[in-house]
Amino acid sequence: MEAATESGVEVLRISFIKTLRVVQGLWQFLDVSSGILSQKQIDLVIKRSMRLIAQRAIPKRRNRSCPRKLRQPVNGWPRLRKNTYRKGPVHYSVNAIIPGIT
């Protein structure tokens, strides 16, 4: 939430998975560099990590082309109780194609 508010991005556009990956990398870096960096440098690294989280925000969604609605129930439709198949010979004919006639 802090990364979103500082950068002016909507909170819902911040991805949890992308944030988790940045924070895991930050934890590992701070663990390895403990005792080497000053508090001012650590604060700067955290601030840059927050900026990175905001830069990786999910793009805005486009507006819906169709409004969301529920389907109408189909209870009034007649039910198909038994499938019917027609068996028999197939009738077909072949017609000649005459060029220039549409």
- The reported pLDDT for the residue numbered 51 is 92
How high is the mean pLDDT in each 10-residue block of the chain (102 residues)?
A: 86 91 94 92 94 90 73 68 75 83 66
Q: Report the alpha-carbon distance of residue 91 to residue 76 in Å, rounded.
A: 37
Write the CA distances from 28 to 20, 25, 44, 53, integer angstroms. 12, 5, 16, 16
| Cα torsion angle, 4, 10, 16, 19, sign | negative
- Render the burial of 58-67: b for 16+ CB within 10 Å, e for the rest: eeeeeeeeee
| Cα torsion angle, 18, 19, 24, 30, sign | positive
